[in-house]
Structure 1
Amino acid sequence: MNDRAVRTEQPRLEKSLGTWSVFVAGVGLVVAASTLVSDFVGYFTIGLAFLIALLIAFLINLFLGLSCAELSTTYPRAGALYEYGAQAIPWRAASVITGMFLAFAFYGMFGLVGALEISAGSFGLQALFNATGSLTPWIVAMTVLAILPNLAHVRTMAIIEAIVLVGMLAIRWFFGAAGWTGFSNTGSWSASNWAGEIGVFEWSAILGALALAYWSFVGIEFVAPLAEETRNPRRNLPIGIVLGLLAILATSAFMGTGVGGTQPLGQWAESALGPAGCDGSCPQLVVGAAMFGDWGRGLMALGTAAATYTSMVIVLAAMPRILYGVARDGHFFGPLSRAFAYLHPRFRTPWVAIFATAALYCIVAIFFHDVVALIFAGSYAWVIIYIFWHLLVIISRFTNPHVDRPFRLPLVVPIIGAGGTGFALYYAFQGAHATYGIMSLYIFAGSLLAALISYALARKAPRPAPVDEGGRSG
């Protein structure tokens, strides 16, 4: 019997997303509140050398985006990494366990990342209302608001996401334009303000800042779990991914260089990375106050909250669909598969998986607020998972040579991508591999254990007859 027998579930996911929906999904997740933190920390600590780090990170993530496009168009199903791992490995039980391991590792890694993102946005939401005290109510409020559009049709989610995304990007570009034109309290833009001890091409500083620069782009692969709901994925996924990465690079470069050039670098670092900037966890609020006073701080707080909202809306769209993909095949901890494979009969969205994911990430966020530390911890595991994306493209070429690949890369692309990502991992975390590597090891070990337990429970569960979905049968 095939270990990947598909369980009958009706209704099915709705195919309604186009190129711009893919663009919105990718940019909405990547241009998160935590990227405001990583960008400003990067620019204010190493100056314009951070721009070079951003360009390197962009190229590495462009290769990742292309590998993501090949995998998601070749296997356009909601399970994403679960599906790719299971398809690439041809040996029955090993294929399922590999797929579940990758899915659980990605999902578990985002337990840290989701916590930092909700925390970063909650700082902004709290500041927006000039509130003090515990961050917990704001974390809960942000999570609830992100759940709501995901309970409706996926196209409704995309529309709401697009509206908030446009407003959030407009705020970032406004601050960049204000800096470049001198239209702010911090004065005219001057190249002399960027002068510091670190040169633009000082490679030790650039490599040391790669983790922060990398963070400005990670998440573009979140479009993959939406492939099953994308019209013409062969065209819409690659175009949406590339346009998204270009928009992210332009936004980060324009805003960061514009703002940073209005005051001496040391002055920005002292104020934005000190107590007023939450010791580096909310430097953007200091930037807003310095440039436009109270209303500037409020506008930056609004942009921060909007950025978290757009990212968490996509998180609560993509991550539950990974669980849904595993559960639909009957492999999510035996009897739990039926619940997590549930789709709302009207909206065709995985409600149980959405609520479970939101609750888990919210709980982690309540107990962990150190945004910068979580950025580094999450980045380490995330970069390792990116290497797996490239390896899956390479392995799949040999194990499934005859499968239709609507978007096919030259094989050198994932090879260079894997090597470049490994290079970034090594140099970005020099001196800290033990600290963050151990945290990542916990995530991967726990994910493997969960995959083995889930597979064992699934084997004991009764198996109904498989149903064909999109040309596949059990």
Structure 2
Amino acid sequence: MKSESRNQPIGKVMHHELKQTLGTWQLWGIAVGLVISGEYFGWSYGWASAGTLGFVITAIFIAAMYTTFIFSFTELTTSIPHAGGPFAYARQAFGPTGGYLAGAATLVEFVFAPPAIALAIGAYLHVQFPGLEPKHAAMCAYLVFMALNIVGVQIAAAFELCVTLLAIFELLVFMGVVSPGFRWSNFTAGGWAGANTFSMGSFHGMFAAIPFAIWFFLAIEGVAMAAEEARNPKRSIPIAYITGILTLVVLAIGVMVFAGAAGDWTRLANINDPLPQAMKFIVGEHSGWMHMLVWLGLFGLVASFHGIILGYSRQIFALARAGYLPEWLSKVHPRFKTPHRAILAGGVVGIAAIYSDELIQFGGQTLTANIVTMSVFGAIVMYIISMLSLFKLRRTAPNMERPFRAPLFPLFPAFALIAALICLATMVYFNFLVAVVFAIFLVLGYVYFLLTRHQRDTAPADVLLEE
């Protein structure tokens, strides 16, 4: 492995350890829970540019990318069960600079996804309590779920599993309630970027909608950050990943089709609560079903919000433990054995994003859309680096223990890599201003990386990467 020198004894790492307590069901709950808010909001912004039919094509392409990616990514996760996830894989494959790029991209993905979800939680609560400011509700959500994550990973994972099961149940209820009004003609009307026939504009819109199709599945890879806390990661993580992605593909297709077929889908684009609004077409605004959906819908948002807090905290923790961030962020709570400082640090950034309308609302997109797009930029760059790491480690570390091997290698990882490159290129084209901001983050982070080599020289030896 390429690495910078380490002067500290391996035993020092004991002060930065996480507890191994998570089982297969809990990891599945984290895998689905991390993502399931993507079925509740965010994806409908894709209808605004691609139309319903155009977005179906985009979503199928992205679903294929995620399926092949997860089957390939699982090889890395089981071979290197590390809280840093992609950071650890890239560091093993490409050395410290590769680790920085993967770690920084993952950090952007996981730190910017929660404020978007928190704003959606605020929007759902605003439906029930019109006098409640959505941003204030979003901030309160941060405070509550940061506290829950600090209390302990076992409690956090059990809570995540419960709310994930409730969220899945709620999505099934939604599809059942709107099914009497299902009209395929509703879904197909103006389905090609607002037109009834396919044109070059439809093609343009499908590419522009890529970030919102990615939102359907964004962050499932966060299970990798819980690998150090899994009791048997080599067995439980493949099961959690594979069943998780299959669960999410089925739910994404079902929600999208049933919502679009319930009524005038153009009224659901560019809003943060498309499911309650779709249900209004069928049951009316004052129906008991409507109120039930809003309350149960919060479970889906809470599942992802809570799970991604777990993900970003482990990424910050791993980067700090390795000397890529200030060492004090890697401290574990003496009683709860959770990275409490990392949890709080990511929350401060997220809350700041929620209240930064003037800074983040640009390029003709809403605050939520820009936050979603920023998070997706981080994810796509991380996917590219992860697949490159897989290819590199297959070549340079052929004898590494691989409890799970990517099926149909090299076809699956190659498809995931090429699809991610296509997504990155189109996202830069359609979201140039957000891309510039993302690039500035990476450059500033790289300057910090170059100026703080001494932190990595004196960081505790990482047993998981040195062995």
Report the TM-score when normalising by structure 2: 0.86
Q: Among the aligned pairs, what percent are the same residue?
A: 20
* Corresponding position: 1:178 with 2:177: yes
AA aligned opposite 2:275: Q
Distance in 1 separating the partners of 2:177 and 2:318 = 45
* Corresponding position: 1:129 with 2:133: no
Contact 1:189-1:258 within 8 A present in 2 as well: yes
Answer with 444-453 or 191-200: which moved more: 191-200
SS of residue in 1 equivalent to 2:42: helix
The alpha carbon displacement at 1:297 in A equals 4.3
Counterpart of 1:272 (choices 264, 268, 271) is: 268
Contact 1:42-1:213 within 8 A present in 2 as well: yes
Evaluate the alpha carbon distance shift between residue 472 and residue 432 of structure 1 in structure 2; reply closer, same or farther with a 3 A threshold.
closer
Q: How does 1:319-468 map to 2 (within 5 A)?
A: 319-329=312-322, 331-333=323-325, 336-337=326-327, 339-368=328-357, 370-409=367-406, 410-427=409-426, 429=427, 431-459=429-457, 466=461
Distance in 1 separating the partners of 2:81 and 2:124 = 36
The alpha carbon displacement at 1:108 in A equals 2.7
Evaluate the alpha carbon distance shift between residue 447 and residue 296 of structure 1 in structure 2; reply closer, same or farther with a 3 A threshold.
farther
The alpha carbon displacement at 1:430 in A equals 7.5
The alpha carbon displacement at 1:201 in A equals 9.7
Distance in 2 separating the partners of 1:302 and 1:453 = 48
Give the structure 2 partner of residue 185 of structure 1. none
Answer with 396-405 or 352-361: which moved more: 396-405
SS of residue in 2 equivalent to 1:280: coil
Evaluate the alpha carbon distance shift between residue 35 and residue 367 of structure 1 in structure 2; reply closer, same or farther with a 3 A threshold.
farther
Evaluate the alpha carbon distance shift between residue 117 and residue 87 of structure 1 in structure 2; reply closer, same or farther with a 3 A threshold.
same
Distance in 1 separating the partners of 2:377 and 2:321 = 30
Contact 1:40-1:284 within 8 A present in 2 as well: no
Give the structure 2 partner of residue 276 of structure 1. none
Contact 2:78-2:233 within 8 A present in 1 as well: yes
Distance in 2 separating the partners of 1:299 and 1:447 = 44
SS of residue in 1 equivalent to 2:234: helix
SS of residue in 2 equivalent to 1:37: coil
**How big is each residue's C-alpha offset from its partner over 1:76-98, in whole Å with a ceiling of 9 and x where there is no partner?**
11122221122112xxxxx2243
**How big is each residue's C-alpha offset from its partner over 1:338-369, in whole Å with a ceiling of 9 and x where there is no partner?**
x2222223332111111212222122122247
Distance in 2 separating the partners of 1:472 and 1:355 = 29
Contact 2:259-2:275 within 8 A present in 1 as well: no
Give aligned pairs, total. 442
* Corresponding position: 1:60 with 2:65: yes
Evaluate the alpha carbon distance shift between residue 400 and residue 129 of structure 1 in structure 2; reply closer, same or farther with a 3 A threshold.
same
Contact 1:176-1:257 within 8 A present in 2 as well: no
Contact 1:114-1:365 within 8 A present in 2 as well: no
Give the structure 2 partner of residue 47 of structure 1. 52
* Corresponding position: 1:315 with 2:308: yes
SS of residue in 2 equivalent to 1:85: helix
For structure 2, which runs of at least 5 residues remain unmatched after alignment?
Answer: 358-365
Distance in 2 separating the partners of 1:189 and 1:216 = 22
AA aligned opposite 2:337: R
Report the TM-score when normalising by structure 1: 0.85
* Corresponding position: 1:38 with 2:42: yes
Answer with 16-25 or 195-204: which moved more: 195-204
Counterpart of 1:287 (choices 278, 285, 288) is: 278
Q: How does 1:89-128 map to 2 (within 5 A)?
A: 89=94, 95-128=95-128
SS of residue in 1 equivalent to 2:41: helix
The alpha carbon displacement at 1:11 in A equals 6.8
SS of residue in 2 equivalent to 1:8: helix
Contact 2:65-2:420 within 8 A present in 1 as well: yes
The alpha carbon displacement at 1:378 in A equals 2.7
**How big is each residue's C-alpha offset from its partner over 1:141-181, in whole Å with a ceiling of 9 and x where there is no partner?**
1102211331233222111011111222222211111222x
Distance in 1 separating the partners of 2:235 and 2:85 = 18
Contact 1:104-1:450 within 8 A present in 2 as well: no
* Corresponding position: 1:151 with 2:150: yes
Answer with 286-295 or 75-84: which moved more: 286-295
Contact 1:30-1:311 within 8 A present in 2 as well: yes
